[in-house]
Amino acid sequence: MVRLPTGLRARLVITFTLVAVTASVLVATIGFELAKSALVERAEDTAVDVVERELDRIAFPIGRLRPGEAPPTAKNLEELGQSLDGPGRGVVVEYRGLLYADGPMTMDDVPNELYGRAKQNVVTQRRVIHNELWLIVGAEVYRRADAVVEPTGLRTFVFFPLRDEQSRLSTLRSKLTQGGASIVAIALVVALLSARQVLLPVRRLSAAAQALGQGRLDTRLPVHGQDELAELTARFNDAAAALELSVSELRALEAMSRRFVADVSHELRTPLTAMTAVAEVLNDDLERLPADTAQAVRLVLREVERLRELIEHLIEISRFDAGTATLNLEPVNVAEAVHGCLDVRGWGEKVAVTASPGLTASLDPRRFDVIVANLVGNALKHGGEPVTVSARGTENGLEVKVRDHGKGIPPEALPHVFDRFFKAGAGRTRSQGSGLGLAIARANAQLHGGTISVRPQTPGTLFTVWLPRA
């Protein structure tokens, strides 16, 4: 299946060329037909004039004879035929029982329809005889006798060859074809130039739109003329200016928001430290407190811990947003790093680890610890045991997989699990966790130049971390 070109340039050129071809064909066809009609008409008029002039010169008696007139002889018919004859012509003369034929034509070559019409007046007909086109002029001679014009019975049929006219028409057809081809070639060149002239502003607009998409918001185009493309260019410049202003305002607001979050997070650290100290004191005396008071203290302790985790996550996120997060790479034993991460948090007995003891990679230890802790913590809190961690080296880097065997993440929530503050399910809006853990894990992986992906399992969920070789 041939695919039609879809580009605007190709369509303009094709349309322009088709119009030129159609116009050339129409003009050539009409011109050829007019020339053909004029040429044939002139040949017919000339042939009829020759026949009528020679028939008017007949001197021997024909038709109803007057007293003293002798009937025409074969010699008379021969003289008449010779007077009608010419280069390449054929002549047939019939008079009652006499017949004269000169040239390759005979009475058998005279069409019956023409033979019948020749009784009335001078008639013509074009016919192909012996693979050649001829113009046949037929006429019956009339004579005035006693004030009455009556037929004489003398009929002549003159065959005029049209080879010269055919040659002229063939030459004309060739010239028209050559002229049409020249016109189409010129039209094609004009179409290409016109398409280039028309599409140049469109290409500039496309390049400018691409530049805008790449973040160069100061992109503007010069406006030339007052046509539709100039108006479109002006509208583009207005839209670009409005977009630049809006983006500048949004960036300023975003910077203010990030600074506000960072400032608030740092300011909360001081009262949070005091609250944590008080909570620890209360925790030590928890068994000596009344039951209701002890329950309230336990609630405060959970919320303080949750607040501490949230503030730490907000501070970490603010570093990524501000672009101040740094990467300190060093050789790390992956198995030891994973076990250390789990043991510090008391998860060593809950999580099964599969990793080669000699597996090492160039990592930032602190950020790798954050990645593993957030993924495993998420699996323990929201997934289901058993939770497994496996690590292996690949040709391109390090691959770490964290798998749980819980109910799994709903399919509609999978594309959003790494979004900030996203929690799958309405019932988790007040669950333990800040909603930032997976976002921070992904940010740390991307800082290493790696990725994190998530896939549903049966049962549970699988998170895969890939970190490239340094």
Q: What is the pLDDT of residue 465?
A: 93
Place of tokens 């005979």: 106
Q: Does residue 32 sit in the same domain as residue 130? A: yes
Nearest partner of 127 among 116, 112, 142, judged by Cα:
112
Q: Does residue 452 sit in the same domain as residue 337? A: yes
Segment 394-405 shows an average pLDDT of: 90
Residue 118 CA to residue 99 CA, distance in Å, equals 16
What's the number of domains the chain is made of?
Answer: 3
The CATH number for 100's domain is 3.30.450
Q: Long-range pairs for 445-453 at CB < 8 Å and ≥24 separation?
A: 445/371, 447/320, 447/325, 447/327, 447/364, 447/367, 448/327, 448/363, 448/364, 448/367, 450/397, 452/371, 452/375, 452/418
Q: What is the pLDDT of residue 265?
A: 62
Q: Does residue 136 sit in the same domain as residue 261? A: no
- Residue 390's pLDDT band (boundaries 50, 70, 90)? very high
Q: What tokens appear for 377 in the block?
A: 């913590």
pLDDT digits (tens, 9 = 90+) for 168-213: 888 888 988 888 888 888 888 888 887 777 777 778 888 888 888 8
Segment 103-132 shows an average pLDDT of: 86
pLDDT digits (tens, 9 = 90+) for 298-354: 787 777 777 777 777 766 767 666 666 788 899 999 999 999 999 988 898 889 999
Q: Does residue 434 sit in the same domain as residue 335? A: yes
Mean pLDDT of the chain: 83
pLDDT digits (tens, 9 = 90+) for 65-114: 777 778 888 898 888 888 888 888 899 998 888 888 887 888 888 888 88
**Which pTM was predicted?**
0.46
- Residue 432's pLDDT band (boundaries 50, 70, 90)? low
Q: What is the pLDDT of residue 425?
A: 53
Q: What is the pLDDT of residue 268?
A: 67
Q: What is the pLDDT of residue 428?
A: 43
Q: Does residue 335 sit in the same domain as residue 274? A: no
Residue 302 CA to residue 305 CA, distance in Å, equals 5
Q: E strand or H helix at 413, and its extent? A: none
Q: What is the pLDDT of residue 404?
A: 92
**221 in any annotated domain:** no
Q: What is the pLDDT of residue 430?
A: 44
pLDDT tops 60 at residue 1: no
List the domain range (segments joined by +) for residue 438.
326-468
The CATH number for 456's domain is 3.30.565.10
Q: Are 359 and 327 in contact (CB under 8 A)?
A: no
Q: What is the pLDDT of residue 375?
A: 92
